Amino acid sequence: MYIVMVASECAPVAKVGGLADVVFGLARELELRGHAVEIILPRYDCMRTEHVWGLQVSWTDLWVPWDGGAIRCTVWFGFVHGRKCFFIEPHCDQAYFARGAYYGFWDDPERFAFFAKAALEFMLKSGKRPQVIHTHDWQTALVPVLLYELYAAVGMGEQRVCHTMHNFAHQGITGHHILHATGLHRPEYHGHPDRLGHGISHFTLNFTKGALLYANFVTTVSPTHAWEVRFTDAGCGLGHTLHLHQDKFGGILNGLDYEMWNPHIDPYIPHHFDEEGFDRKAGNTRVLRERLRLNAAERPLMAYVGRLDPQKGLPLIRHALFYALAHDAQFVLLGSGSNHGINEDFWHLKHMLHDSRDCHLEIGYDEELAHLIYAGADLLLIPSLFEPCGLTQMIAMRYGTVPVVRAVGGLKDTVFDWDHSELPREQRNGFVFEHADPAGLESALDRALGLWRHERGLFRQLAVQGMGCDYSWKHPGEHYLRIYDFIAHR
């Protein structure tokens, strides 16, 4: 098959969170199975071009119709660790992708509506006719809408779209002006609440709603989350629309790129290990402690790696930190805030704990340190309020670090409690708690720290069992191919 992914992120060249890992990992898996995959991304000024091999101009004058006129774009091509990637660079006063950050601007919906339009225009003009276009999240949700409303009539009538929602909390909400800018026009039609209209308003658009209506198939990133978005408030207002389109909606667990995340060959960690040589993991713990100037004590080391966003259960992360310090454990946090206020709070906390040699807060994004933490920690905490899939628990398990998670979304589909799971003991791989409150969290932390302290052999067994779980792209890759095949031949 010939598949084109259109996305706002791809690891490691443009990565904010799990979306980037999924785009890269799925593309790689599909290629390994013999399919042709290309990825179209914006050319951000802040992207990590050192990860692009052979970057060169592929198309100089791509004129993208926009807002009654047209914007000239340059399209670049390069390999990102073997993946074929095109990067669209618009030349316009708005400098859509030349702002030093990926997201966080008042006109984000406009920036990515432009990107959706430009990606289609590029496929049209360059003669790319994939069987399936795979779009991701709200940033590219207008692709299926524009494809069927505008591009099908001019030569792209055969293309089918699979859209994946990684996070329903962000849907791409904006005003009507986008209809005119993209060439959709007819606000009374497209803006109707049965189509892209947001809520009861005819004047507000919801990009994601467009994808749910127009895509040939819609997925989210775990079976549990597929249920949650339909039947609980996790759908953030889209439960009814999802219900109407349930026949083309499903949940597929994300995979993890087992090449990129492999403790046996990981270039970022000093001591390589695997299930048989599990004891070598301790070398990484030692190096992690040295690097972060932590006490070289015989204590359990708990960590958090991830965005500092309310979704992740920030008060519980804070609670766990103090709990760890009060219970003779150590705590390491690596994360960057989704807004200035959150970053400030964590900087404040860092200063407050400055003299403790049993905890370290690293506020920022650091790929290399993340690898060392996964390899060196004993426990990884993920107390999310909601978690569509979550990758950090899978990475942790791959590195023999026991996850302590809240039973929600993909965490529920991947982590099975050591004491209470219905699975046989040899298939259990972590600690799980139900309620997003300190008592719930402590119920799991107590058990985790207790096992580390009093039954070290069993704790080790649990960690090794986690390493044995297969959360690679093998099964998700098969699932996606079945969906592509289904929509391409319908």
DSSP string, 413-481: HH--BTTT-SS-GGG--BEEE-SSSHHHHHHHHHHHHHHHHH-HHHHHHHHHHHHHS--BSHHHHHHHH
Q: Report whether 72 contacts 114 (CB < 8 A).
A: no
Provide φ and ψ at 157, rounded to 5°: -80, -15
Kindly state the smallest distance separating residue 67's Cβ from ligand ADP, in Å: 32
Cα separation, 179 vs 133, in Å, equals 22
**DSSP 8-state class, residue 34:** T
3-state secondary structure of 154: helix
**DSSP 8-state class, residue 137:** T
Binding site for ligand ADP (CB under 6 A): 17-19, 21, 305-307, 334-336, 365-367, 370, 389-392
Cα separation, 147 vs 156, in Å, equals 7
Kindly state the smallest distance separating residue 308's Cβ from ligand ADP, in Å: 8
Kindly state the smallest distance separating residue 178's Cβ from ligand ADP, in Å: 25
| Closer Cβ to ligand ADP, 212 or 372, answer by number | 372
Kindly state the smallest distance separating residue 408's Cβ from ligand ADP, in Å: 12
Q: How many CA atoms lie within 13 A of 351 on its CB side?
A: 5
Kindly state the smallest distance separating residue 390's Cβ from ligand ADP, in Å: 4
Q: Report whether 217 contacts 483 (CB < 8 A).
A: yes
| Closer Cβ to ligand ADP, 58 or 343, answer by number | 343
| Closer Cβ to ligand ADP, 24 or 323, answer by number | 24
Q: Which stretch of DSSP H or E encloses residue 64?
A: strand 52-66
Residues 6 or more apart in contact with residue 339 via CB below 8 angstroms: 104
| Maximal C-alpha separation, the chain | 70
Kindly state the smallest distance separating residue 122's Cβ from ligand ADP, in Å: 27
Report the length, in residues, of the chain.
490
Kindly state the smallest distance separating residue 14's Cβ from ligand ADP, in Å: 12
| Closer Cβ to ligand ADP, 18 or 400, answer by number | 18
From the CB of residue 208, how many other CB atoms can be counted at a distance below 10 Å? Answer: 26
| Closer Cβ to ligand ADP, 47 or 305, answer by number | 305
> Tokens representing 82?
């073997």
Pairing of strands 249-251, 217-220: parallel
| Closer Cβ to ligand ADP, 135 or 182, answer by number | 135
Kindly state the smallest distance separating residue 464's Cβ from ligand ADP, in Å: 22
Kindly state the smallest distance separating residue 225's Cβ from ligand ADP, in Å: 11
Cα separation, 301 vs 316, in Å, equals 17
Q: Which residues of 127-139 are buried (b: 16+ CB within 10 A; e: fewer)?
A: ebebbbbbbbbbb
| Closer Cβ to ligand ADP, 21 or 121, answer by number | 21
CA distances for 132 relative to 240, 468, 482, angstroms:
26, 33, 12
Handedness of CA 405, 409, 411, 414 (dihedral sign): positive
| Closer Cβ to ligand ADP, 21 or 149, answer by number | 21
| Closer Cβ to ligand ADP, 121 or 266, answer by number | 266
Cα separation, 184 vs 17, in Å, equals 31
Q: Report whether 377 contacts 332 (CB < 8 A).
A: yes
Name the residue with the smallest CB distance to ligand ADP: 18
Kindly state the smallest distance separating residue 12's Cβ from ligand ADP, in Å: 10
Kindly state the smallest distance separating residue 375's Cβ from ligand ADP, in Å: 12
Kindly state the smallest distance separating residue 472's Cβ from ligand ADP, in Å: 15
